[in-house]
Amino acid sequence: MAKPKLVTGLFRSRTAAEAAVDAILKHGYTRDDISVLMSDATRTKEFGLQARTHAADGLGIGGAVGGAVGAVVAAIAAVGTTLFLPGINLVIAGPIAAALAGAGAGGATGGLIGALIGAGIPEYRAKVYDAELRGGGILIGVEAKDDEDVQRLETLLEELGAQNVRAE
């Protein structure tokens, strides 16, 4: 059996990122299959969550967002592992967070690019993602179930406006 491939795409807005998560969920994936990465500044700006509140832990999140919880916020709150890496101001949720947590602090000590490489993203792509995340982008990733699904996910993300869609 081939190793699952991580399909990633960058989104420039909360609305587009939420549409992507909703579409991925409709294709049979669960929130536990989806990784979300964004800067803490983006999280605060787009979702109104303060890093030092319980809202970041998923507690009281409805009030923090103003009632309707978007899919990306729900994904961050619902996944088993959410990391906030203060040294690089990055919020990571989903399987990528679990991979980084399992690897220890090595990814965090290497900065954002090191964290992305630690999650299995090649260095050249990690540098692109680094610039985009610092510029307010939201990275959505999902482990494809099989090779056929890789193509479906790539097409889906591209149709929803993702930039730099790739499978690793």
Whether 148 shows a pLDDT value over 50: the answer reads: yes
- For 77, list phi and psi in degrees, rounded to 5: -75, -30
pTM assigned to the model: 0.76
**What are 27-68's pLDDT values in tens digits?**
999 888 888 888 777 877 776 644 444 444 443 333 333 334
